[in-house]
A and B are shown apart, each in its own frame.
Chain A
Amino acid sequence: SQTIHQWPATLVQPVGSPLSLECTVEGTSNPNLYWYRQAAGRGLQLLFYSVGIGQISSEVPQNLSASRPQDRQFILSSKKLLLSDSGFYLCAWSVIGYEQYFGPGTRLTVT
């Protein structure tokens, strides 16, 4: 069966510090991978998606970047965090595009 992991689960970082969130998927090959951000109790904003190694599409211009160094690894990064980067970050995978499966999320607080 397929599983998706995200770490860390929670993170508190000062403004201006770098960021690296990691997502890995097990049990499937060549998945589509997605990074979302969610405001408290609300819907999901798509940040990045990837259909293959090294292929990244950005949905929203921002302070963040994404990379896919391996087939089942997706990384979200920032060189300098802003207060507005705080939120709940979710990674998801899909094989059939319309059914996405989410990881447990990372709660990021920028202070």
Chain B
Amino acid sequence: TQLLEQSPQFLSIQEGENLTVYCNSSSVFSSLQWYRQEPGEGPVLLVTVVTGGEVKKLKRLTFQFGDARKDSSLHITAAQPGDTGLYLCAGYKTDSWGKLQFGAGTQVVVTP
């Protein structure tokens, strides 16, 4: 059973368009991370959100943690081909002995 549900599974857009990826759960997490992974490489940590309602911006990427700390979203403004990749969310609970729960990922393709 996937504790974290990501949607959509696949997203293909043109350069310059906006996109939003969602990460939802029925569980409460202490923190939530977003990673981006390119083909044949390991995931790279983009951001960690900790506080309910928190919003973090990383250039054209905006991350939000839900008020109840059960969900998160990633919004990309004016997407570029370099944004192409697999976006993974991962949730952490303090009683999990350092383990993360990963979503299944959203594959984003941005075409020129």
Contact = CB atoms under 8 A, between A and B. Distances in A.
B74 interface: no
A94 B98 contact: yes
B33 A105 contact: no
A99 B99 contact: no
Contact of A104 (B41, B97, B103): B41
Interface string A23-66: 00000000010100000011110100101000001010000000
Given A90-B42, A105-B42, A98 B104 contact: no
Contacts, number: 60
B64 interface: no
B30 interface: yes
Contacts of A104: 41-42
Contacts of B41: 104-105
Interface in B62-112: 86, 88, 90, 92, 96-100, 102-105, 107
Given A98-B31, A100-B33, 8 more contacts: A43-B103, A49-B98, A97-B97, A99-B33, A100-B100, A104-B41, A105-B40, A107-B40
Please provide the 9 A-B residue pairs with the shortest distance between their CB atoms, ordered closest to farther. Answer: A97-B98, A102-B42, A98-B92, A43-B104, A32-B98, A43-B102, A44-B102, A98-B31, A43-B105
